[in-house]
A = this chain, B = another copy of it.
Amino acid sequence: MTPYVEMSQEELLKEKVALEKEYQEVKKKGLKLDMSRGKPAAAQLDISMEMMDVLNSKTNLKGEEGVDCRNYGILDGIKEAKQLLADMMEVEPGNVIIYGNSSLNVMYDTVSRAMTHGVLGSTPWAKLDKVKFLCPVPGYDRHFAITEYFGIEMINVPMTPEGPDMDVVEKLVKEDESIKGIWCVPKYSNPQGITFSDECVRRFAKLEPAAKDFRIYWDNAYCIHHLYDENQDHLIEILGECERAGKPDMVYKFCSTSKICFPGSGVAAIVASKANLDEIRKQLTIQTIGHDKVNQLRHVRYFKDLAGMEEHMKKQAAILRPKFEAVLEILEQELGGKGIGSWIAPKGGYFISFEALDGCAKKIVELCKDAGVIMTNAGATYPYGIDPHDSNIRIAPSFPTPEELTVTAKLFVLCVKLVSVNKILESK
């Protein structure tokens, strides 16, 4: 297949005409599809329906420790829920606090608390002139939205196939005391599907930040979210690494069951050192009467243990895998060798990250939209929505049906080709 850049002006013009004709035909279909968010499909929710049966009016709703889950009490989670999520996060239950249904809310609360109360005795960030966060890019828009909401300055750090560029991270956190955190999705990263290498994680644990209240915000959203039974990524456990490096307080880990069972009705958790958790518990006594323990019990009774969760995730993978493969196949078939885009085939998570030619992402997403397919906004994977190369597009294959997905993926590659051909023609 001839790369576009090697084609003659004439060939390119011919290609352009053909693509435009094709695009107009697709447009006529009046599509109305959404590939913008990492939202599970209905079929993925159906596999968890039996969770609705594990508790009923005859069930004893007392937890292992005898606590009545229906009533007030127990701020930081019932024992068995701590155990389940501790196993999932590869830590001890004593390092876990169970929250409500949204790990995003846990992260928000964590930043909000630092704004008003500081971190383990540090000056509240709201009282500082400048607070900064490092943001590996491309990254997760809702992380960036939290720090933007609180007026925290975000600094882009490039991702590599091994994780964030640690030379940059090490240098910046050492030099600048106003850098208080870094957002990470360390496994099957959003959007690239990259898992941080062992060396990368160890370098994280050995960071020497100038700010004592610097924390690694480790959003392990896809910890057991593999696409394959065999071909899986492995991430080493960072809290243990931090402990061994003598910096147990340097990391907050976040997780939830949102993409394991019901996204809107799951259980979230924070994992951290005892000192960090004690500070959080102090806040919790003020903040809430405690999170929903009946729902915690429902999750534990349904999954039983980590093995149960992992079995369940195989069912999720069986639904997601063909969708990822369909998109990847169309990308390969239609764009392979054309030199107008690159992507990584992820082994888990919820996204495929597409790198278009510089200056093409916005136009591609716009063309898709005009033909009735909503993609994640170009730029969304960067702080402030500004992708300096205007090249990254996040593809979320989970929500559409397989049939819809083929249609959307074909439209997507068509738009990529059309925008790229125009771009190359312009630059000739």
Contact = CB atoms under 8 A, between A and B. Distances in A.
Interface of A: 37, 39-40, 42, 45, 48-53, 55-57, 59, 61, 68-74, 100-102, 104-105, 108, 112, 115-117, 124, 126-127, 142, 145-146, 149-150, 258, 262-265, 283, 285-295
Contacts of A69: 264-265
A75 to B, nearest CB: 11
A288 to B, nearest CB: 4
A294 B71 contact: no
Nearest to A106: B288
B70 A108 contact: no
A72 to B, nearest CB: 5
Contacts of A105: 287-289
Interface hub of A100, A149, A285, A286 (most chain B Cβ within 10 A):
A286
5 contacts: A49-B57, A70-B264, A100-B291, A101-B291, A117-B149
Given A124-B126, A288-B102, A262 B294 contact: yes
Given A102-B290, A289-B104, A39 B72 contact: yes
Nearest to A286: B149
Given A262-B294, A264-B290, 8 more contacts: A45-B71, A50-B57, A52-B57, A70-B264, A101-B289, A108-B286, A126-B127, A146-B286
B56 A42 contact: no
A49 to B, nearest CB: 4
Given A286-B145, A292-B101, A264 B71 contact: yes
Given A101-B100, A265-B295, A288-B102, A45 B68 contact: yes
A108 B265 contact: no
A81 B189 CA distance: 35
Contact of A264 (B48, B72, B101, B283): B72
Nearest to A105: B288
A44 to B, nearest CB: 9
Nearest 9 Cβ contacts at the A-B interface:
A126-B126, A265-B294, A49-B57, A70-B262, A105-B288, A45-B70, A108-B287, A149-B286, A102-B288
Given A104-B287, A126-B115, A265-B293, A68 B52 contact: no
A42 to B, nearest CB: 7
Contacts of A101: 100, 289, 291-292
B289 A102 contact: yes
A39 B74 CA distance: 13
A412 to B, nearest CB: 22
Contacts of A265: 69-70, 292-295
A37 B72 CA distance: 10
A319 to B, nearest CB: 14
A287 B268 CA distance: 14
Contacts of A263: 70-72, 289
A262 B258 CA distance: 23
Contacts of A115: 115-116, 126
A170 B264 CA distance: 44
A70 B146 CA distance: 24
A427 to B, nearest CB: 39
A37 B293 CA distance: 19
Given A45-B68, A71-B39, A264 B286 contact: no
A268 to B, nearest CB: 10
Contacts of A286: 108, 142, 145-146, 149
A294 B56 CA distance: 15
